[in-house]
Amino acid sequence: MTAPAYANPQDDGGDLRGDLRRQIVDYRTNEAPGTVIIDTAHTFLYLVMPGGKAMRYGIGVGREGFTWSGVKSVERKAKWPDWTPPPEMIHRQPYLPRFVAGGPSNPLGARAMYLSGSMYRIHGTNAPETIGEHVSSGCIRLVNEDVIDLYNRVHGGAKVVVLPGARRAAVEAANVD
C-alpha cells in the first residue's frame, strides 16, 4: 500500500516543545559528517554536519529496561514500512496485532531505517506526543515530518552511534557546578 505524504507537515509535529523541533545546532564530535548520534538520555538524535554543526531532532526512546547503546549502521531503508512485532514483544504484549501494513495508521510511521544486526529501527510515529519520552521497546522514533527529513539525508550504510544513556547523564551532572 502506498500512503500519501503529509499534505501539511506542520500538522505532524506541531505540538512539539521548541527544543524537540528539528534545528541546526552547534555540535562538536570526532564523528564524520553523515553519522547519526543518538543521545537517549536527553531524547535527541543528531545528524553530524560539516563545520561543527548537526541537525538535531527530538526523539522518543526506549523505556526503562529497554535502553541500549552501541554502534550500528543503517542496513536498510523503507518508505511506509509494514510492521511485524517481534516474538519478544508479542510475548510481553499479547494483544498486539501480528502484522500491520504500511500506511498512516502503522506504528512505524512514514519511514524506517533498520539498524544492522538488531531488531531496532529509527522510524516515524503516529503518536507525536511520545517524542521527548522514554516509551518504546528500544526503537528510536521521530515525528513523521522529521523521519522523512532524516530518511532523505541519511545514506544506507551510515554509521549510527547510540550513546549510553545513564553514563552520559551522569557525566553531564558531574560537570554542573
Q: Is 147 within 8 Å of 123 (Cβ atoms)?
A: yes
The residues that are catalytic are 123, 139
- Locate 25 and state its grid cell: 545546532
- Locate 77 and state its grid cell: 531503508
- Complete edge-to-edge strand list for the sheet that includes strand 140-141: 23-26, 53-58, 44-49, 36-39, 159-163, 70-79, 111-115, 121-123, 140-141
The four Cα atoms 175, 37, 139, 69 give a dihedral, to 10 degrees, of -60
